[in-house]
Structure 1
Amino acid sequence: MSYSLQKKLVIVSFLFVPVALLLLFLLYPSLRLLQFSLTNWNGISKSFNYVGLDNYVSAFQNPDIWKALSNNFLYFGIHALFIPLEVMVAVLLNNKLRTSNFFRSIVFLPYILNGVAVAYLFSYMYNPINGPINALLETLGLESWIQNWLSDKGIVNYSLIVVSLWRFSGLHVILFLAGLQSIPNDLYEAATIDGAGSWKKFIHITMPGISRVMEIVLFLNVRGALQVFDIPFLMTQGGPGLASTTFTVYTIQTAFKYNNYGLASSLAIILMLMIIIFSYFQGKLFKGKGE
């Protein structure tokens, strides 16, 4: 056996297992998901009927789905508004402060906590009867601010978004911090010699230097906003009514509560397409930046 053939056999042997796993756990489930989205399968019967694109038409005509999707965009919008604050915190932590390492750990800690534990922690804090938040407001003489944080349709989404911000903003800060530390100090020293102030350094050096990180954070924001599930599901079950139902919560309930796996599969396909489309346009937006 020639050396060239041996080399090819070794390469194929090493690639066989990961490619097989990729086909088994990614490509095959995706194809089956697409197949189920074209059927009326209830998740139990051994047989099902093909209904074509009826599930997709039903999804776009269902006002409850649009309501759930609007809740997802609320998550994305508020998270996006907090990006400048996250950048400011990262810049502050990037300075050589005596306690910066300690605060870096504190900022990142919420992200590594279990999502179920975070949901139950804030469910207790939002408790309208003996919750710490309402108790604190009463102690401060702000009784008029006391709310039913998780049962009021007007504020329940904002209450849940606060939990999401608390949990995920630390990850974004650490990512921005990593981007800041990758910028050579020589650039700042040269700018200082040229008489550039702090604001010009931030605009012309810092922002271009972290543009790749900004792209990653925006992608994580949209993906997380579209896929948000654990916080609303565990804390409110999507209630009251559909007030805090997100796209993923609605999809899961459609499948496992109402046994409409065909519609649920079409919603999963739509979710995947939305993420792909956003990723494509985001790549176009950031193309050439930060290079």
Structure 2
Amino acid sequence: MTDEDVALSTTSTPLGGATRRDQRRVASRPLGSGWRQRLEIAFFVTPALALMAVFVVWPIVSAVRMSFYRWKGFGPMDDFIGIDNYRYVLSDDVFTGAVTHNFIIVFASILIQLPLGLAVALLLNRRIHGQGLLRTIVFVPYVLAEVIAGVVWYQLLQPESGVIDGLISAVGLTPPEQGFLGTPGLALGTVFVVLTWKYLGLAILLFLAGLQGVPHDLFEAAQLDGASWWQVQRRIAIPLLGPTIRTWCFLSMIGSLQLFDMVWILTGGGPANATTTMATYLINQGTGRHNYGIAGAASVILFVIGFLMALIYQVFVLRRDTTVER
């Protein structure tokens, strides 16, 4: 036996012994430990699944079932009419207008709120005096309840007695006779301005959080190479914010499709359906006109649109970001 054989035999013995000890330790584990872990998982997961079943799955199933019946909310649901409710909704000019309004807000949010929020975030990311106070000010509107914000803006935008009309008159201009919310050509744009004021803080917060994850060494190296502040933001900061920007775009699109509270408080979908969204349409059909079958069909269509948008995001955007991170 050579010296190498002795060395191999002496080093392999502890490893072999450790392996046998591990095998004995695994064999000595109680057979019920796996079941115990499964029971623990089930104990914590079951309440969440129960809540999801009651508040998510059951309403969806009920809406789908309701959409195939003519039902006024009273008596048994036994007047089966097939897909007539879907035909009515898809041929209703009010609903197609509501879909148009939703997508106008979607694209306006991306084209206006995105660059505005990104610009403010880049400015607030600089070391300036009162930075914390400025961040708080821009984020305050977002934390306000939508009902409170909607009521405040409704009072501000009242014709003649509202503060906005008073300011316009004070500078020598003539405000709209019916007010901004009462004029069909101005109502949707006015609602979007209020929405921008309300939700711009979320975009700024997300972008600031993304900027905090960018190594400052990259900024310093670029500045040492003679890059200006704008070149640093355009070449380094904004490209690295790509995943954050895409996440915000997704949240903005889904939120714009589900838009209800602010529109309902400000205009109720009027005037002349100028601000009707899919959510206000189905609420008006259900609680307003007691056409619950039509409301169910509209809610199913809204769900399908949102689901398809989420699926497209998952396939073409989220998977790309996950692949890049790997």
Instruction: Tell me how far 1:121 sits from its aligned partner.
Output: 1.1
The CA deviation at 1:100 is 1.0
- Deviations 1:177-198 (CA, angstroms, capped at 9, x unpaired): 1111111112223334455444
SS of alignment partner, residue 185 of structure 2: coil
Q: 1:58 is matched by which residue type in structure 2?
A: Y
Contact 2:165 2:175 in 1 (8 A): no
Task: Say whether residues 1:267 and 2:298 are aligned partners.
Answer: yes
Choose the corresponding residue for 1:187, options 218, 235, 238: 218
Query: For structure 1, which runs of at least 5 residues remain unmatched after alignment?
Result: none
Give the partner amino acid of 1:201: V
Aligned to 1:288: 320
Matched-pair contact (CA < 8 Å) for 1:138–1:146: no
1:148 aligned to 2:174?
no
Q: Which residue of 1 aligns with 2:256?
A: 225
Q: Does residue 1:9 correspond to 2:39, yes or no?
A: yes
Match of 1:234 among 265, 283, 287: 265
Query: Which of 1 and 2 has greater Rg?
Result: 2
- 5 Å matches for 1:33-52? 33-52=63-82
What SS is found at the alignment partner of 2:232?
helix
Q: Deviations over 1:47-82 (max 9, x none)?
A: 322222222222211111011111212222221122
Distance in structure 2 (CA, Å) of the matches to 1:147 and 1:256: 27
Q: Given the alignment of the two structures, is residue 63 of structure 1 paired with residue 84 of structure 2, yes or no? A: no
Question: 1:226-265, CA deviations, whole angstroms, 9 ceiling, x for partnerless residues?
Answer: 1111122112221112112111111100011111111111
TM-score (norm 2): 0.83
Give the C-alpha shift of residue 203 in structure 1. Answer: 3.4
Question: In the alignment, is the contact (CA less than 8 A) between 1:76 and 1:225 conserved in 2?
Answer: yes
User: How many correspondences in the alignment?
Assistant: 291
Question: Residue 119 of structure 2: which of 88, 96, 114 is its match?
Answer: 88
1:250 corresponding residue in structure 2: 281
- Whether 1:101 aligns to 2:137 is no
Q: Deviations over 1:116-152 (max 9, x none)?
A: 2211211111111121112112211223677621111
Q: Which runs of 5 or more structure 2 residues have no equivalent in the other structure?
A: 1-30
Letter in 1 for 2:210: G
Q: How far apart, CA to CA, are the structure 2 residues paired with 1:96 and 1:199?
A: 15
Tell me whether 1:21 sits opposite 2:51 in the alignment: yes
Paired residue secondary structure (1:121) = helix
C-alpha contact (below 8 Å) 2:70/2:77 kept by paired residues: no
Which structure has more RCO (C-alpha within 8 Å, separation ≥ 6)? 1
Identity of aligned residues (%): 31
Runs of 4+ displaced beyond 6 Å: 144-147
Corresponding residue number in structure 2 for 1:276 = 307
Tell me the CA shift for residue 207 of structure 1.
2.2
Residues 184 and 274 in structure 2, CA contact (< 8 A), matched pair in contact too: yes
Q: Paired residue for 2:27?
A: none
CA distance in 2, matches of 1:177, 1:116: 27
Q: Contact (CA 8 Å) 2:124, 2:135: kept in 1 or not?
A: yes
Q: Look up the match of 2:155.
A: 124
- CA deviations on 1:17-53 (whole Å, 9 max, x unpaired) are 2222222222222112211112222222223222222
Asked whether the equivalents of residues 134 and 146 of structure 1 are also in contact (C-alpha less than 8 Å), the reply is no
CA contact 1:137–1:146 (8 Å) conserved in 2: no
